[in-house]
Amino acid sequence: MKVNEVIVKSALSKSSLPGLVYALNPYRGCQHACTYCYAPSVLRENRRWGEFVDVKLNLPSVLAKEIASKPRGIVGIGTVTDAYQPAEREYEITRKCLEVLLKKDWPISIQTKSDLVLRDLDLIEKFKDKDIGFTIATLDDKARKMFEPHSSTIGARLDALRTIAKRGIKTWVFLGPIIPDLLGDTLEELIKALSGAGIDHLLFDRLNIKPGMGAFDQYRDYDYKPIEEKVKELCRHYNIRCYNAF
Ligand code: SF4
């Protein structure tokens, strides 16, 4: 894993994701190395994904200057690459950015696959508007290890969701991308577990095949309708609000 310390000129970018105004990504590259990751295509990144991470060392100070002049708006943290990937344990760039945002109490929305986010609950719980979402695409941890080799285990994510909800912080889950070989036959047990973890709502999405994702060609014409209908039906049954993200 090549870790590069880099200096950046800007921190916040406009986000086109629903409910967000800005995007903040403390790292370029992602050590979680998910085989289905869309980020290389979004970033037009040619380096081998999962084998490098650029650490944006000066991001907190750039962010502090930007929020002094930009209009206030909800900041999505980790919209392209995971803000709680392993490098964050040492560098704490995400934590320092949270400290900056907390000074002005800007609204935040965090999405991750790592229970490292628990480390920062002391800060996160002080924000007036905040939520934390976990991406979970299966309940089968063996399949998770094949598709998302260096992410937190599914058990750790479910435990984290329960802990966060108990602290009074809104939680949600992105069930996606839905990949039949990854989801396997775990859909009902997964939604039941999410209901037990007290999540506020669930977003779901099918696998979108981007350039460079030839390994997933077999799903190009896959009929996702039955799975999507099943997700909606199970969410009704287990009393979870759910939204199709595409
Ligand atoms: S955690 Fe997200 S950004 Fe990181 S490799 Fe996986 S899908 Fe890509």
Site residues for ligand 1, CB cut-off 6 Å:
30, 32-34, 37, 39, 81-82, 113, 148, 151
Say whether pLDDT at 138 is over 80. Answer: yes
CA distance 71 to 141: 42
Count of C-beta atoms within a 10 Å radius of residue 61: 12
In this structure, which residue's CA is closest to atom 7 in ligand 1? 37
How many Å lie between the centroid of ligand 1 and the Cα of residue 23?
A: 15
Mutate which of 25, 82, 115, 144 for ligand 1 pocket (most atoms within 8 A of beta carbon): 82
Look at the alpha carbons of 197, 191, 124, 31 in this order and tell me if their dihedral is positive or negative.
Answer: positive
Residue pair 61/121 in contact (Cβ under 8 Å)? The answer is no
Residue pair 117/132 in contact (Cβ under 8 Å)? The answer is yes
Q: Please state the φ and ψ torsions of residue 29, each to the nearest 5 degrees.
A: 95, 160
Say whether pLDDT at 151 is over 70. Answer: yes
Mutate which of 113, 117, 150 for ligand 1 pocket (most atoms within 8 A of beta carbon): 113
Say whether pLDDT at 111 is over 80. Answer: yes
Say whether pLDDT at 212 is over 90. Answer: no
How many Å lie between the centroid of ligand 1 and the Cα of residue 37?
A: 5
Look up tokens 């289905």; give the residue.
36
How many Å lie between the centroid of ligand 1 and the Cα of residue 41?
A: 12
Break the chain down into helix, strand, coil percent, rounded to 5: 40, 20, 40
Say whether pLDDT at 246 is over 70. Answer: no
| DSSP letter, residue 29 | S
Q: Which residues pair with 108 in a beta bridge?
A: 75, 130
Percent of the chain past pLDDT 90, that is, above it, reads: 95
How many Å lie between the centroid of ligand 1 and the Cα of residue 235?
A: 25
Q: What dihedral do alpha carbons 85, 89, 90, 95 form, nearest 10°? A: 90
Percent of the chain past pLDDT 70, that is, above it, reads: 100
Residue 240, judged by CB atoms within 10 A of its CB (0-12, 13-18, 19+), counts as buried
Atom of ligand 1 nearest to the CA of 30: 4
| DSSP letter, residue 113 | S
Say whether pLDDT at 54 is over 90. Answer: yes
Strand order in the sheet with 130-135: 13-14, 22-24, 75-77, 108-112, 130-135, 170-178, 201-206, 241-244
| DSSP letter, residue 149 | T
Residue pair 132/124 in contact (Cβ under 8 Å)? The answer is yes
In this structure, which residue's CA is closest to atom 6 in ligand 1? 34
pLDDT band per the 50, 70, 90 thresholds, residue 103: very high
In this structure, which residue's CA is closest to atom 8 in ligand 1? 37
Look at the alpha carbons of 96, 100, 103, 104 in this order and tell me if their dihedral is positive or negative.
Answer: negative
How many Å lie between the centroid of ligand 1 and the Cα of residue 222?
A: 23
At residue 230, the 3 state secondary structure works out as helix
How many Å lie between the centroid of ligand 1 and the Cα of residue 87?
A: 13
